[in-house]
Amino acid sequence: MEWMVWTTPTLVFFLVIAAILAGMTAWEVISPTVERKGFLLISTTRGDRLFIGLLSAAYIHLVVVGFTPLTIWVALGASVLWALILMRWG
């Protein structure tokens, strides 16, 4: 039986996701969210926007890796920028 090898980037990825979820939980306890409507045209909470941001970040990475000669760092930068815009004005 072979086991999955946990590389450093994989560990960092999951630790960052865990830290984001812990931070969002603390933020929710301190300041409960209120649904609002931004440029997404649907009422969303912070958690909704986080989920949409993580999902769209995966698609941004897939598009950059699959259809452009750009490096993965460009995809990371675009994903972080998109997530910040989405969390603020989405």
pLDDT in tens, 14-70: 899 999 999 999 999 999 988 999 898 899 999 999 999 999 999 998 999 899 998
Q: Quick one: CA dihedral 79, 85, 88, 90, positive or negative?
A: negative
Is residue 27 one of the residues assigned to a domain? yes
User: Would you say residue 1 lies in a domain?
Assistant: no
Torsion of CA 19, 50, 38, 85, to 10 degrees: 60
Mapped onto helix, strand or coil, the DSSP state of residue 36 is strand
Give the total number of structural domains in the chain.
1
Task: Say what the alpha-carbon torsion angle 54, 57, 59, 64 is, to the nearest 10 degrees.
Answer: -160
Tell me if 74 is assigned to some domain: yes
| Residue of 1 and 19 predicted with greater confidence | 19
pLDDT at 7: 82
Q: Judge whether 2 lies within some domain.
A: no
The predicted model scores a pTM of: 0.79
pLDDT of residue 85: 94
Name 36's bridge partners. Answer: 44
Domain that holds residue 63: 8-89
6: its two tokens:
């946990």
What is the greatest pairwise CA distance in the chain?
50
